[in-house]
Amino acid sequence: MSGRLRVVGLGPGNPEQMTFQARTVLAGASDLFGYRAYLERLKPEPGQTHHVSDNREELARAKAALAMAASGKDVAIVSGGDAGVFAMGAAVCEAIEGAPDALHQIDLEIVPGITAMLAVAARAGAPLGNDFCALSLSDNLKPWELIEARLRAACGAGFVLALYNPTSRARPWQLARAFEILQAQLPLETPVIFGRAVGRSVESVAIVTLQAAAQEKADMATCIIVGSAETRIISRAGLPPLVYSPRSSFRPAR
């Protein structure tokens, strides 16, 4: 099988935050597959074809790219952030798992990128300086009851939380419910960071307490970091505050 399939993370949106490896792979691909907003970040190379699809067509996109790679072409699928974090890496693996055995031998590489929570954390300080976990609040592919259970478990374990896919027009109430759960389990002064489109020209970052956290502060371009009970805010005169989670933990396990 002479073709290749690369799954590439583009980073959070700033061209300077795309890795050299990602640039090299994309420049050498004959065909690029991806959601329109991600492909629009890239100028086609001479002779290169872009295949645009809707944001909810991940598995179909993965299958189409896999078939084209099997035909002998050098194909890349792009994702925002990191391809393996709530992105196309898992969709491609799912497509391969359900494909005929011959396609299991495809030359596949997952090319990492800077994921949203890392970009947001860097803007705020070091909120991920101790143990953390990432959760998607989208219940499109898993039941909301499972999301609630995982939120409670993560809070109970003392993790800092990075919340992906916090809200959308089709999911208008879930983030408010998530904040209710968090407010019941964490100190109300816990820092919460809303990072919207970090790395792009429309970037905005807001740091509030958990008590003041509200659904209206977020959209699908937002990644939210919720501190643990140990996360701290350092006020600085004339400068944005720093949010960090100390490297040491003395909170007793439950």
Find the CATH number of the domain harbouring 78: 3.40.1010.10
Non-local (6+) Cβ contacts of 75 within 8 A are 3, 4, 5, 6, 29, 30, 31, 32, 33, 65, 68, 69
- What is the count of structural domains for the chain? 2
Q: What is the pLDDT of residues 107-160, one digit of tens each?
A: 999 999 999 999 999 999 999 999 999 999 999 999 999 999 999 999 999 999
Could you tell me if 132 and 207 lie in one domain? yes
Name the band, by pLDDT with cuts 50, 70 and 90, for residue 238. Answer: very high
pLDDT at 252: 57
Would 250 be classed as within a structural domain? no
Residues 125 and 166 both lie in one domain: yes
Write down which residue in 63, 95, 114 finishes a domain.
114
* 104 shares a domain with 125: no
Instruction: Please give the average per-residue pLDDT across 162-175, as a whole number.
Output: 95
When pLDDT is cut at 50, 70 and 90, the band that residue 177 belongs to is very high
In angstroms, rounded to a whole number, what is the distance separating the alpha carbons of residues 29 and 124? 36
Give the per-residue pLDDT at 1. Answer: 54
**Which string of DSSP letters, residue by residue, matches 186-222?**
S-TT-EEEEEESTTSTT-EEEEEEGGG--GGG--TTE
pLDDT band at 251; cut points 50, 70, 90: low
Final residue of a domain: which of 71, 87, 114?
Answer: 114
Same domain? For 103 and 148 the reply is no
* CATH classification of the domain holding 192: 3.30.950.10
My answer on whether 62 and 163 are in the same domain is no
124-144 in b/e burial notation, b at 16+ Cβ within 10 A? bbebbbbebebbbbbbeeeee
Stretch 41-67: mean pLDDT: 94
57-95 pLDDT, tens per residue?
A: 999 999 999 999 999 999 999 999 999 999 999 999 999
Q: Which of 62, 82, 114 is the last residue of a domain?
A: 114
Measured CA to CA, the distance from residue 66 to residue 97 in angstroms comes to 11
Asked if 92 contacts 62 with a C-beta cutoff of 8 angstroms, the reply is yes
222 versus 250: the higher-pLDDT residue is 222
Query: Does one domain contain both 9 and 96?
Result: yes
Q: What is the DSSP letter of 37?
A: H
Q: Domain containing 47: what range?
A: 4-114
How far apart CA 117 and CA 162 sit, in angstroms, is 6
Residue 11, beta-bridge partner list = 81
Note the pLDDT of residue 249.
Answer: 83
